[in-house]
Amino acid sequence: MTTEKRNRTNLKYVAGLLGILGFLISGACTNLYAATSSRIILDVIDTQDLTITGTVISSDDGMPVPGANVILKGTTTGTTTDFDGNFAIDVPSSNSVLVFSSIGFASKEVTVGNNTTINVSLDMDVSALDEVIVVGFGTTKKETLTGAVEQISSEVFEDRAVSNVALALQGQTPGLTVNRSSSRPGNENVNLQIRGVTSINGGSPLIVIDGAPAFDDSEFFQMNPDDIESISVLKDGAASIYGSRAANGVILVTTKKGKGKMKIEFNSNTRMNFLGLKPPFPSYQEYGQLWLDTAEQDLAATGVANYWNWGEEALQGIASGQAGYYATPIVDGWGEGGFLYLAPADRYEDLYGSNIGHQQSLSLSGSSDQARYRLSMGVSESQGALKTAYDGIKQFSVRLNTDFDITERLNLATNISLQKNRTSSPSSGFGRGLVGQDAPIFPAKNSLGQWYGNFGRYSTNSIAATSEGGRDDLEENIAKISLNLKYDLGSGFSVNATGTYNHVNSRQDITQLTVPVFGWEGESYNEAVNSTSSIETVHLTNEYQTYGGFLNYETKLGKHNFKAMVGMTAELNEFKGLSAKRTDIVNEGVFDLAVASGVPTIGGAGNNNNRGQDHDGLYSYLTRLNYDYNEKYLVELVGRRDGSSRFAPGFKFNNYGSASVGWNIHKESFLENLESLSNLKLRASIGSSGNQAGIGRYDYVSTISQGTELFGEGGTLSNTASVAGITTTQRSWEVVTIKNIAIDFGLFNNKLSGTFETYERENKDMLLGRSYSALLGGDAPETNIGNLKTTGWEAMLNWKDQKGDFSYNIGVNMSDNTNELVNLEGGGGSIQAGYNQLVEGFPLNSYFVFETDGLFQSQAEVDAYNALYDKDGSSVPNGGNALRVGDTKIVDLDGDGSINAINQDNEKGQGDIKYVGDAQTHYVFGINLGAKYKGFDFTAFMQGALQQNVLRQGVSAFPFNNPWPNQTNAYNDLTWTPENTGATYPRLTAQRTLARWNWSNTDTFIQNNKYIRLKNIVIGYSLPADVLDKLNMDKIRIYVSGNDLFELSSLVDGYDPEDGNVPTVTDSNVQTSVYPFQRTVAVGVNLAF
Amino acid sequence: MKKLITLFSAAVFLLTSCEDKFLDLQDLDSVTEIVFFDNPQDFEDGANDFYSGLHSPKASNPGTGSGDNDGFAEISDYGTELNGYAQDFGQGVNNPTFEDSYWKNAYWYLRDINTLIQKGEEYVANGGSASEISESIATAYFFRAYHHFRLLKRFGGAPIMTVVAGLDDEVLDSPRNSRYELVTQVLADLDLAIAGLPATAVGSDLGKISSIAATAYKARVLLFEGTWEKYVGTVTDFEGSGGPTVTADAYIAQAVTAAKEVIDSGDFEIWNQNADPLMENNSYKWLFSLEGADSNPGGYTKASNNEFIIQSIFDHAANDQIRSQFTQINESRNSATQVALDMYSTLNGLPITATGNTQFMGYAKQSDQFIDRDRRMWANFGGGSAPVDGSNAILAISNVNNSNLPNQKFTTWNKYRSVREESYNYPHLRYGEILLTYAEALYERDGSISDADLDISINLIRNRAGIAPLTNALVTSNDLDMLEEIRRERTVELYMEDNNHWNDIRRWDTAVDLLSNNIIGAVIEGTEYESNIDLFDPSTAIYGFVDNYPSGVGPVRALIIDPASFRTFNHKNYLWPLPLEELVLSSSLKQNPGW
The per-residue DSSP string of A688-724 comes to EEEE-TT--TTTTS-EEEEEEEEETTTTEEEEEEEE-
Instruction: Please tell me the predicted confidence (pLDDT) of residue B158.
Output: 95
Closest CB from B26, B207, B584 relative to A711: B207
Spatial CA neighbour of A1020 closest among A152, A160, A151, A263: A160
Mean pLDDT for A950-978 is 86
8 Å CB contact of B315 and A701: no
Segment 60-99 of chain B within 8 Å of chain A by CB:
63, 93, 95-96, 98
To the nearest whole angstrom, how far is the Cα of B23 from the nearest Cα of chain A? 4
How many Å apart are CA A588 and CA B196, to the nearest integer? 59
End-to-end CA distance of chain B: 80
- Residue extent(s) of CATH 2.170.130.10 domains in chain A: 132-271
Residues of chain A contacting B14 with CB distance shorter than 8 Å? 28-29, 31
CB contact, 8 Å: B319 with chain A?
Answer: no
Residues of chain B contacting A491 with CB distance shorter than 8 Å? 1
Residues of chain B contacting A617 with CB distance shorter than 8 Å? 21-23, 25
**What are A150-203's pLDDT values in tens digits?**
888 877 777 776 778 888 888 888 888 887 777 788 877 788 888 888 888 888
Closest CB from A614, A726, A777 relative to B28: A614
Using an 8 Å Cβ cutoff, are A939 and A1016 in contact? yes
Dihedral (CA of B570, B574, B578, B579) sign: positive
* Bridge partners, residue A762, by sequence: A737, A789
Please tell me the CATH superfamily of domain A50-122, with its number. Carboxypeptidase-like, regulatory domain (2.60.40.1120)
> How far, in Å, are A97, B25, B96, B393, B411 from residue B401 at the CA level?
97, 60, 27, 12, 19
Q: What is the DSSP string of B294-338?
A: GGSTT---GGG---EEEEE--BTTTTB---SSHHHHHHHHTPBPH
CB contact, 8 Å: B414 with chain A?
Answer: no
Segment 94-133 of chain B within 8 Å of chain A by CB:
95-96, 98, 103-104, 107-112, 114-115
Closest CB from B12, B33, B165 relative to A775: B165
Rounded percentage of chain A residues whose pLDDT exceeds 90 = 29
How many Å apart are CA A33 and CA A405, to the nearest integer? 15
The CATH number of the structural domain formed by A132-271 is 2.170.130.10
Residue B42: closest CA among chain A residues belongs to which residue? A721
Q: Which of A49-58, A448-457, A496-505, B139-148 has the lowest mean pLDDT?
A: A49-58
How many Å apart are CA B378 and CA B375, to the nearest integer? 5
Residues of chain A contacting B114 with CB distance shorter than 8 Å? 777
8 Å CB contact of B14 and A29: yes
Closest CB from B33, B95, B585 relative to A703: B33
The overall longest dimension of chain B from CA atoms, in Å, is: 119
pLDDT band at A23 (very low <50, low <70, confident <90, very high): very low
Residue A648: closest CA among chain B residues belongs to which residue? B24
CA A221 to chain centre: 8
User: In a structure prediction context, what are the per-residue pLDDT tens digits for chain B, which is 595 residues long?
Assistant: 566 566 666 666 556 667 888 888 887 777 888 888 989 999 999 999 999 888 877 765 554 443 344 555 667 788 899 988 888 889 988 888 878 888 988 999 999 999 999 999 999 999 989 999 999 999 999 999 999 999 999 999 999 999 999 888 889 888 999 999 999 999 999 999 999 999 999 889 999 999 999 999 999 999 999 999 999 999 999 998 888 989 999 999 999 999 999 999 999 999 999 999 998 888 999 999 999 888 899 999 999 999 999 999 998 888 788 877 777 777 778 888 999 999 999 999 999 999 889 999 999 888 888 889 999 998 898 864 445 555 566 665 554 455 668 888 888 877 778 777 888 999 999 999 999 999 999 999 999 999 999 999 999 999 999 999 999 999 999 999 999 999 999 999 999 898 899 999 999 999 999 999 999 988 999 988 888 877 787 877 888 899 999 999 999 999 998 889 889 899 999 999 998 888 888 888 899 998 8
Instruction: Please tell me the predicted confidence (pLDDT) of residue A9.
Output: 47
Burial class (CB in 10 A: 0-12, 13-18, 19+), A17: exposed
- Residue extent(s) of CATH 2.60.40.1120 domains in chain A: 50-122
The C-alpha angle A626, A75, A100, rounded to 5 degrees, equals 85
To the nearest whole angstrom, how far is the Cα of A601 from the nearest Cα of chain B? 14
